[in-house]
Amino acid sequence: MRRLYLQRRLLARWRRIEAGFNGHLPDTFRRTSDASRLAEYRRVIGLSATRARQPGQRNRACTSGRLKLQLPQRTTTTPGEAIAVIGIAFGMSIVLSIQAVLANFPMQPFSDAGFLWTVMVEVVLAASAILFLHTRGFAISTLLPVPSLMGSVVGVMLFLVAWVVGTLVYAPFAIGQPVQPIEIMVVEANVSAPAVVLMAMINGTFEEVFLLGFLLRGLRGYGLSVALGATLLVRLLCHLYQGPLGPIWVMAVGLTFAVYYMRSTRLWPPVFAHMLWDIVPFALS
C-alpha cells in the first residue's frame, strides 16, 4: 500500500510540474531541473509501474489483473534530445548557411522553385522530428499553434514591435556599410504571391514551433539563460547566409518573439508574426 501511495504522490507531483509552465515567467523558467524530478519519478515507478490488484478495489484501469500507471507525456527535454531534434530540423539549414559564409555570401535571388523546395524539405524534416519526439513520449499536441482571430491581431502587433526593435538595433551597425546580401536577394527575387505566402506559412510555423514551442520551452528546467541562449544560437546559425549584418536583425526579432512567448506561452502570435516577416519584405520590394 505504501508503494502505491508513493506512486500516486509522485504522479501528481509531476503533473503539477508540467502544469507550471502555464504561469508567468518566474514560475515558468525555474532553475530547478525538471529533468531531475522526472528521473526521480522514473526511478520510483518506472515507465509502467504495476501492482497486483487487491480484493475490493474498484474503478481502476487494470490489465490482466494488474494496475498500470502510465508516465504522462512531457513537454521538457534533455540536452541530448534537444541536439538530436535540432539536428533533424535545422541541421541542413545550418550547414548551408555556414557554406554561404565560407563562399563569401553568394547572392542567389529567391525564386518560386527555391521556395517550393524549401517548403517540401521543411515538411519532411518536421515530420521526421515529430516522429522522433513521439517515440520518446513528448506531448506532440502541445507543439501545435492554435490559430485565432485575437491571436492574429496580437501577431500583427508583435510583428510591428519586432520591426521597430530590429530597426533600432540594426541601424547603428548599418551606417557606412554596403548593401547586405539579403537585401539584394529580396530586391532581385523572381517570385509569385502564392509561392511567397505558402513559404511564409510553412517556414514561419516550422521555425517557431521547434525554436519556441520545443527548444525554448523544453529546456526551461535548465534555466532561462540556457533555454534562451540555445534558441537564439540556432536561429543565428540558420540565418548567417543573410550577410555580415543580417543576423543582427534576426537576433533582435528572435529575442522579441522569445520574450513574448516566455511571458504568454501562446505560440500562434509569434508564428503569425513570422509569417508576416517573410511576406512584407517582398510586398515592399
What the block records as the C-alpha cell of 103 is 563562399
pLDDT per residue as tens digits for the range 203-248 = 999 999 999 999 999 999 999 999 999 999 999 999 999 999 988 9
8 A C-beta contact, residue 210 and residue 91: no
In 3-state terms, what secondary structure has residue 274? helix
8 A C-beta contact, residue 32 and residue 221: yes
8 A C-beta contact, residue 143 and residue 75: no
8 A C-beta contact, residue 51 and residue 66: yes
As a whole number of angstroms, the distance between CA 262 and CA 86 comes to 20
Residue 53 CB coordination number (10 Å): 13
CA nearest to 213, candidates 257, 175, 248? 257
Residue 221 CB coordination number (10 Å): 22
> Which pLDDT score, from 0 to 100, does residue 33 have?
46
> Which pLDDT score, from 0 to 100, does residue 271 have?
98
What kind and span of H or E run contains 130?
helix 112-135
In 3-state terms, what secondary structure has residue 27? helix
Say which residues have a Cβ less than 8 Å from residue 24's Cβ, sequence separation at least 6: 263
In 84-122, which positions are buried (b, 16+ CB within 10 angstroms) versus exposed (e)? bbbebbbbebbeebeebeeeebebeebebebbeebbeeb
- Alpha-carbon distances, residue 222 vs 115, 218, 225 (angstroms): 36, 9, 8
Max CA separation in the chain (angstroms): 82
> Which pLDDT score, from 0 to 100, does residue 285 have?
78
Residue for grid cell 545550418? 94
In 3-state terms, what secondary structure has residue 74? strand
Low-confidence ranges of the chain (pLDDT < 70): 1-72
> Which pLDDT score, from 0 to 100, does residue 6 have?
55
What global pTM score does this model have? 0.77
